[in-house]
Structure 1
Amino acid sequence: MLMAASLVLLMTPALALFYGGMSRQKSVLNMMMMSFGTMGLIGVIYLLWGWSMSYGSQSVAGLFANPFEMFGLSGVIGDASGWVQGLGAYPQVVDVAFQVTFAIITVALISGAIAERVRFGTWLAFAGVWVTLAYFPLAHMVWGGGLLSHSDSGLAAMIFGTVDDGEGGLTAAVGPIDFAGGTVVHINAGMAALVLVLLIGKRLDFGRTAFRPHSLPLVMLGAALLWFGWFGFNAGSAFGANGTAGLAWVNTTAATAAAMLGWLLAERIRDGHATSLGAASGVVAGLVAITPAAGSVHPLGAIALGAIAGVLSALAVGLKHRFGYDDALDVVGVHLVAGLWGTIAIGLFATGTFDTAPGIFYSGDGWKLLVVQIVIAVAALVFTAVMTAIAWAICRPLGWRIDKADEQAGIDGAQHAETAYEPSTSALIR
């Protein structure tokens, strides 16, 4: 589990490379700093109240747990009773190590949508507010026994009733499935990105200038490291070195490979070229889509799920030009679209093994799981949209946008007093 946690932690610097390469030369440092700043801030906040809000036992209406119950990991460190039981068995502090990395990467994902135009200090303030209002509660709702979980008081139980859980309690008859973060991470981050770009507005030259990645090799390297780290993300969510982890590993590879091929095929048909940026983006789309389903589908189902995700995301990234919202680095087109598809597709491809309900392709009653997955996805969308708007408003007095002159000259110099490349090399890169 510590190895898996370390792999997931690597994903945020990998994301910095991925986003940094996709940015223009004059904004690459700011883009990377948004990820690194997130690591610093959320790494502290999570230990103070994030763990308690996500996994505390004192739930508030199934929405979040009492942030003061385990504030500063009170009762977690050195508590002999604090062992996680289930597929794995390890000290609770190891689970803290694993879960904090999820919180960090989720917040960092949002930053790509608002590249090149936001004050760094306001971004950090927003990150702290948003993770408290949106991420911690949604983690509690889905994974902490809250409103969107298998709980007998959750939405799924309200829809199709409850059954005996075999331990003297009740659980949802058709429980929702989010193996590693389709709702908690990707729908959450993708919807937050969409709300932010609508509220903050477009870059100065959006629609008039082609914003091209300044370093495709950085993009490819970032995508490769994300794929590597994602094995901690998905296989680690089995909470042990076991068959479920092996299935998640294989499914992660299958879906990601298929999504890359799907994206490249869509590009080839639409544009006449299969690009390196498309390959890297297809990798991420596949990783996103398989995340909620990694432990509940057959590898053949993972191939189909991934291929469709690649095509859907390749088509979705163009919507920003059609509808006029400036999602700078395609967070909405990749994470929101692939996250929604992966979450809903469980209702089609889930095999019914590993104590999960089967999907439509494996059972006549599979429509019930599909209904539950759709309801959970919609609930997450609405909740995140509202919380993101509130977090944006709270941070508004700090000022969201940098000055127009600074945006034109480059956010790196304005916000960090640095440049990524010396003048002699920047001309070559340009």
Structure 2
Amino acid sequence: MEYAVFNEQLFDFLRQSPTPYHAVEQMSHRLEAHGFHRLDEAEPWTLEAGCRYYVTRNDSSIIAFQTGSRAPTEAGVRMIGAHTDSPCLRVKPNPELTAKGLYQLGVEVYGGALLNPWFDRDLSIAGRVSYVDREGQVRDALVDFRRPVVTIPSLAIHLDKEANSNRSVNPQTDLPPVLMQSGGDERRPFRDLLRQQLCAQYPGCDVRQVLDYELSLYDTQPPSLVGLQDEFIASARLDNLLSCFIGLQSLLDTDPEQPALLVCNDHEEVGSMSAEGAQGPFLANVLDRWVGADARPQVIARSMMVSADNAHGVHPNYADRYDDNHGPLLNEGPVIKINNNQRYATNSRTAGLYRHISDSLGLPCQSFVVRSDMGCGSTIGPLTAGNLGVRTLDIGVPQFAMHSIREMCGARDGHTLYQVLRRYLALSEVTS
């Protein structure tokens, strides 16, 4: 896939994926268009060699795999992992608030979000809604208002003289967004508004009662190229939908002869401890049903996982926050992430294999090690390595403004990582 086409398709994916549910829906559509067959965890599986399959859990995590023509016990499985969730604001179960004639929503912070950038944005609402239809059946539907419906106004600097020098955000009192004017103290149930949106979004949808929901606020500003020469990408949710897209395209475009797998887990931003998170059994369950529980250790011994999650690019205004020899630059290639305390799962073998592929393609790569006097974040890499015993590489595209409502990365780095991962998925072996 050419560089410009890659970014065009990336932008479309980002626009259509305001929540993990929507991201998994979009990935499912693209997989089916390329011949992947949907599996149901609740049903028996009959898998055939040389075929492609995918399965979802909770509609927010997805695993896609191709069985290949070689037995996994001989060839191993080339795996790529990423996560579908991003830090954001989630709507509370009883969100209705009224003050000074305004209807507001109670929200909860999800993950380690940078909160200040959420103010004064044109925000919308999207997620999953559970409801009862006219026949009394409980059903789910994805909802997306698709236009600005809420905003979080800043307090004027005249009333907060220290806003530019000492501003802190109280998540309980400062973040409730304005939804509409309420007409006094009237508090129309938010679920009634959701019911209206469902009926408008799905003509003919027969909604008797909205039962519950998992809804997020998101910025309606679309992805864009930034810079005098279009050198950069600015968008919401680059961490980590960029890696999901790279992994997906790598799998779609690779030779189907090699056993290969993509897993995109939910809940990485809050620790991954869930049925569909990387600390849960989803990936192990799928591997057992594919290769068999008894054969899994043999398969894992011949396999490798690439955990793709964005890295910290060196910020020119804060260069002192980085190790001088390990400050990745935007558009200078993907970043091998290394931490000797196992916050990243990279070792010399997995890093060496990536460098070998990258060098053979004439493509750049970089390394990141956090300053020795600072703490280090983590990824699904160590969790997956610990759960499965699979050799793992942590790598990612360098970016600025990680966990902000709008993030920034180089316009070339995603395509570079895609080219290397496509070659990696086609390797006949990864063991030595």
Please identify which structure carries the higher strand content.
2
TM-score tier by shorter-chain length is under 0.3
Structure 1 or 2, whichever has the larger Rg, is: 2
So what's the TM-score if we normalise by structure 2? 0.27
So what's the TM-score if we normalise by structure 1? 0.27
Please identify which structure carries the higher helix content.
1
